[in-house]
């Protein structure tokens, strides 16, 4: 499968490429200036906004402290009447860095490394931000607290409005088996910030080790015992070597961008079926399989409500979990159910119990 972004540009790279650059990408160089802005004090009482432009506070290395990038964005929003004169950095907009992984310090940003999300934003202002602030790759309009996607079949879907640029973003999750790179087109897929340890990956890991101990893979000690940010040299991108006779099948029934099912493939599952009712989620799960080293042999983006992609050890479906039993005539070892918070999961669990011997509900 070609790793080409919908925008036609080079937004999508393989996990190796992302990780080889990710470690240093947000660190300042020795000359990068140290910045100290108060996020709760109006910006115009701390800086002369006339001076805040593309070069303001930018180091010769090309990077700029996140706060200064946000100051530049806020200045444009004030000029375009999207924010009050007395606004603070705190109420500017939500910054989503790309790629994202847990950081120990505020990042210094380079070109096209930021997506911004704001409830109040018009197209003119968004286009100015994209054109004038080189760190920005996309401007979205929407409320961060609103779930993006579809909560269940009887809910209306919700998306953020993409006003300028491309919203393709990558989150890097640290797992006991190495890093996992998850792309999301952020206008259509819910925001989930990578934390030093992902509670849902940990829950899945514990479940797999407890319920299927005989199937546990043997990754290098280095990866398994050290769930911190791994470099490509210390990580595994594709399936861990398993005993080829053992079979372990998983249904990731509400897969979203594919996090948990891909983790099962890394763990060494012999077959994983991904499924999601939300078509953009199945597109992302397919892309993320390829990005993380699980080659996609078939993918038809135009298909809906059926199998949309497949590879050696996986298939991807776009169905309501309730209808999966009509097309999947098999009993999986495990079905993962990960609904959005606040969704009544009883139906999901009932459907999962018919399809698998064990059900893991992420709560
Ligand atoms: C919390 S997200 C899953 C996140 C995913 N497990 C991950 O970690 O990347 C919940 C998912 O359930 C999907 N969903 C909602 N209703 C569904 C249904 N009736 N059948 C299948 N999937 C559904 C949503 O589209 C959404 O992608
Ligand atoms: Zn793109
Ligand atoms: Zn520098």
Name the closest-CA residue to atom 16, ligand 1.
152
Which ligand has the shortest distance to the CA of 27?
3
Q: Is the separation of the CB atoms in 313 and 215 below 8 Å?
A: no
- 362 SS3 class: coil
* Closest atom of ligand 1 to CA, residue 150: 25
The residue that leads in pLDDT, 245 or 82, is: 82
Quote the CA–CA distance of 37 and 302 in Å, as a whole number: 48
Pocket residues: Cβ below 6 A from ligand 1: 149-153, 200, 254-257, 259-260, 275-278, 281, 320-321, 338-340
Q: For residue 363, name the pLDDT band (cuts at 50, 70, 90).
A: confident
Q: For residue 222, name the pLDDT band (cuts at 50, 70, 90).
A: very low
Q: Is the separation of the CB atoms in 85 and 44 below 8 Å?
A: yes
* Domain edges within the chain: 15-146, 198-361
Task: Compute the distance from residue 185 Cα to the ligand 2 centre, in Å.
Answer: 9
From edge to edge, which strands make up the β-sheet containing 307-311? 296-299, 307-311, 314-317, 271-275, 249-252, 332-337, 356-361
Whether residue 220 is predicted with pLDDT greater than 70 in this model: the reply is no
Largest CA distance in the chain: 68
Q: For residue 124, name the pLDDT band (cuts at 50, 70, 90).
A: very high
Which ligand has the shortest distance to the CA of 30?
3
Name the closest-CA residue to atom 15, ligand 1.
152
Indicate the burial class of 83 (C-beta count within 10 angstroms; 0-12, 13-18, 19 or more).
buried
Name the closest-CA residue to atom 4, ligand 1.
256
The pLDDT > 90 percentage for the chain reads: 80
Q: What is the pLDDT of residues 3-60, one digit of tens each?
A: 889 999 999 999 998 998 877 789 999 999 988 899 999 999 999 999 999 999 999 9
Name the closest-CA residue to atom 25, ligand 1.
278
Task: Compute the distance from residue 107 Cα to the ligand 1 centre, in Å.
Answer: 31
Dihedral angle over CA of 355, 158, 15, 61, nearest 10: -160
If one looks up domain 198-361 in CATH, what number appears?
3.40.50.150
Name the closest-CA residue to atom 1, ligand 1.
340
Whether residue 227 is predicted with pLDDT greater than 90 in this model: the reply is no
Quote the CA–CA distance of 56 and 47 in Å, as a whole number: 11
Q: How many CB atoms lie within 10 A of CB 248?
A: 21
Q: In the prediction, which pLDDT does 216 show?
A: 62
Query: What b-and-e string marks burial along 11-20, b requiring 16 or more CB atoms within 10 Å of the CB?
Result: bbbebeebbe
Task: Compute the distance from residue 137 Cα to the ligand 2 centre, in Å.
Answer: 9
Task: Compute the distance from residue 94 Cα to the ligand 3 centre, in Å.
Answer: 24
Which ligand has the shortest distance to the CA of 352?
1
Whether residue 279 is predicted with pLDDT greater than 90 in this model: the reply is yes
Q: For residue 324, name the pLDDT band (cuts at 50, 70, 90).
A: very high
pTM here is: 0.92
The stretch 106-133 carries a mean pLDDT of 97
Indicate the burial class of 1 (C-beta count within 10 angstroms; 0-12, 13-18, 19 or more).
middle
């Amino acid at each position: 499968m070609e790793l080409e972004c919908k925008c036609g540009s080079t937004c999508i790279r393989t996990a190796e490429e992302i990780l080889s650059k990710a470690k240093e990408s947000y660190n300042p160089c020795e000359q990068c200036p140290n910045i100290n802005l108060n996020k709760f004090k109006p910006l115009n009482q701390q800086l002369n906004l006339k001076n805040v432009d593309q070069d303001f506070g930018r180091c010769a290395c090309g990077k700029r402290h996140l706060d200064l990038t946000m100051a530049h964005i806020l200045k444009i929003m004030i000029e375009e009447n999207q924010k009050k004169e007395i606004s603070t950095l705190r109420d500017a907009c939500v910054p989503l860095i790309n790629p994202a992984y847990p950081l120990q310090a505020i990042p210094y940003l380079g070109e096209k490394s930021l997506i911004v999300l704001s409830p109040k934003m018009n197209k003119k202002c968004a286009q100015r931000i994209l054109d004038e602030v080189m760190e920005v790759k996309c401007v979205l309009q929407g409320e961060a607290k609103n779930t993006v996607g579809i909560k269940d079949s009887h809910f209306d879907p919700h998306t953020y409005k993409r006003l300028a640029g491309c919203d393709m973003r990558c989150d890097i999750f640290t797992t006991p088996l190495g890093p996992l790179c998850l792309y999301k087109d952020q206008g259509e897929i819910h925001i989930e910030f990578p934390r030093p340890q992902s509670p849902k990956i940990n829950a899945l890991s514990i479940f797999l080790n407890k319920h299927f101990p005989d199937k546990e893979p043997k990754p290098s000690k280095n990866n398994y015992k050290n769930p911190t940010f791994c470099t490509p040299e210390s990580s595994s991108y594709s399936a861990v070597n398993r005993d080829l006779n053992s079979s372990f099948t998983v249904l990731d029934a509400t897969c979203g961008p594919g996090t948990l099912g891909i983790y099962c493939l890394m763990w060494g599952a012999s077959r994983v079926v991904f499924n999601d009712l939300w078509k953009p989620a199945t597109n992302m799960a397919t892309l993320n399989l390829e990005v993380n080293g699980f080659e996609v042999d078939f993918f038809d983006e135009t298909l809906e409500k059926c199998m949309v992609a497949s590879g050696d050890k996986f298939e991807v479906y776009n169905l309501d979990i309730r209808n999966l039993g009509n097309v999947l005539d098999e009993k999986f070892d495990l079905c993962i159910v990960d609904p959005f918070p606040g969704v009544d999961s009883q139906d999901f669990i009932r459907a999962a119990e018919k399809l698998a011997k064990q059900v893991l509900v992420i709560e």
